[in-house]
């Protein structure tokens, strides 16, 4: 059985008055989540918290999971959270338009599963190299894919925060479900766009390369985003696959 070291932290940033991000670091049930709310008027905060509550509920009643069961649980969290957020908007019209982006990661034996919706991100840091695992569900990412924008132009684009996919917006949710093998020494980073809008991937890699403890690395990433302007809430979850003792 894999042993996972983990640490999570969320920060208000320097410009916002409330934190619409939420996260879970729960190694005892193999659950690691980042959710970033959207909708304003405190509704974004409601959506991200609903996603967190749903993920804890679904995972808490299931243990000893096979890879197939693990994938089914990830899908169930997104399906159920999507349904609950939509129902909340119907029952609370003043929260109309609420939703959240989400990254959910879990492990089984040597495998990992990752559910992704929106423009929060998941990265894999392996053998000194950082690789983005997810693709942003955003307008500017679509324009990058079409060759209409360069990644550098996209970082400054006025529409860079337009999301094309989120939990709680449409009855049918298109979920990106990723899976792969994990290896001792791997570090997985789940984060809200409050980090990646402010900090280049190369700077993230440099911090993960450093000899700092996992908690210090997470806190250093938060500090880096704040020193770059901290325009949004910033949430970081790190999961390290430990070497067998």
> Does 66 have pLDDT greater than 90?
no
Domains of the chain: 4-132+165-241 (3.60.40.10)
pLDDT at 40: 66
pLDDT tens for residues 80-109? Answer: 999 999 999 999 988 988 999 999 999 988
Task: Name the band, by pLDDT with cuts 50, 70 and 90, for residue 145.
Answer: confident
* DSSP result, 174-232: --EEEEEE--TT-EEEEE-HHHHTTS-HHHHHHHHHSS--HHHHHHHHHHHHHHTT--S
pLDDT at 9: 98
pLDDT at 1: 62
Q: Residue with structure tokens 């070497």?
A: 243
pLDDT at 108: 86
Measured CA to CA, the distance from residue 159 to residue 229 in angstroms comes to 18
Provide the percentage of residues in the chain whose pLDDT is more than 90. Answer: 76
Give the pTM: 0.93
Token output for 62:
């299931």
Task: Name the band, by pLDDT with cuts 50, 70 and 90, for residue 137.
Answer: confident
> Does 57 have pLDDT greater than 80?
yes
> Does 64 have pLDDT greater than 80?
no
pLDDT tens for residues 148-207? Answer: 776 766 666 656 677 889 999 999 999 999 999 999 999 999 999 999 999 999 999 999
Q: Residue with structure tokens 């804890």?
A: 56
* 199-205: long-range contacts, CB 8 A cutoff, minimum separation 24: 199/224, 199/225, 199/228, 201/123, 201/130, 201/132, 204/123, 204/130, 205/125, 205/128, 205/129, 205/130
Closest of 141, 225, 43, 166 to residue 236, by C-alpha: 225
Task: Name the band, by pLDDT with cuts 50, 70 and 90, for residue 41.
Answer: low
């Amino acid at each position: 059985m894999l042993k996972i070291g983990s640490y999570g932290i969320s920060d208000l940033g320097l410009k916002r008055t409330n934190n619409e991000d939420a996260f879970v670091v729960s190694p005892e049930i193999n659950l690691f989540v980042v959710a970033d709310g959207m909708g304003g008027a405190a509704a974004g905060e409601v959506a991200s918290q609903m996603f967190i509550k749903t993920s804890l509920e679904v995972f808490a009643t299931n243990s000893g999971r096979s890879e197939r069961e693990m994938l089914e649980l990830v899908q169930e969290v997104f399906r159920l959270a999507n349904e609950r957020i939509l129902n909340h908007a119907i029952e609370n019209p003043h929260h109309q338009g609420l939703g959240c982006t989400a990254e959910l990661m879990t492990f089984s034996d040597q495998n990992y599963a990752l559910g992704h919706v929106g423009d929060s991100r998941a990265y894999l840091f392996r053998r000194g190299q950082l690789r983005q695992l997810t693709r942003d569900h955003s307008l500017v990412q679509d324009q990058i894919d079409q060759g209409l924008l360069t990644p550098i132009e996209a970082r400054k684009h006025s529409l860079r925060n337009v999301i094309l996919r989120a939990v709680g917006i449409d009855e049918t949710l298109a979920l990106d479900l990723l899976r792969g093998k994990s290896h001792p020494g791997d570090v997985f980073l789940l984060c809200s766009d409050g980090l990646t809008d402010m900090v280049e991937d190369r700077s993230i890699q440099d911090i993960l390369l450093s000899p700092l403890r996992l908690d210090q690395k997470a806190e250093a990433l938060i500090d880096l985003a704040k020193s770059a302007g901290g325009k949004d809430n910033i949430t970081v979850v790190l999961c390290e696959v430990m070497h067998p003792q």
